[in-house]
Chain A
Amino acid sequence: NAGVTQTPKFRILKIGQSMTLQCAQDMNHNYMYWYRQDPGMGLKLIYYSVGAGITDKGEVPNGYNVSRSTTEDFPLRLELAAPSQTSVYFCASSPTLWEQYFGPGTRLTVT
Chain B
Amino acid sequence: QQPVQSPQAVILREGEDAVINCSSSKALYSVHWYRQKHGEAPVFLMILLKGGEQKGHEKISASFNEKKQQSSLYLTASQLSYSGTYFCGTETPGAGGTSYGKLTFGQGTILTVHP
Contacts and interface: CB of A to CB of B under 8 A. Distances in A.
B30 to A, nearest CB: 8
A97 B105 contact: no
A33 B43 contact: no
B61 interface: no
B2 to A, nearest CB: 7
Given A42-B106, A42-B107, A59-B104, A97 B41 contact: no
A98 B48 CA distance: 9
A75 interface: no
Nearest to A104: B41
Contacts of B98: 97
Interface residues of A, number: 24
B41 to A, nearest CB: 4
Given A41-B107, A42-B87, A102 B102 contact: no
Given A42-B87, A42-B106, A43-B87, A103 B41 contact: yes
Interface in B74-95: 87, 89
A42 B108 contact: yes
A27 to B, nearest CB: 14
Given A42-B87, A48-B100, A98 B105 contact: no
Interface residues of B, number: 21
A45 interface: yes
Nearest to A41: B107
A48 B101 contact: yes
A64 interface: no
B62 to A, nearest CB: 14
A74 interface: no
Most buried by A among B2, B101, B105, B108: B101
A98 B47 contact: yes
Contacts of B103: 43, 45, 100
A40 B43 CA distance: 17
B100 A50 contact: yes
Contact of A31 (B43, B47, B100, B106): B100
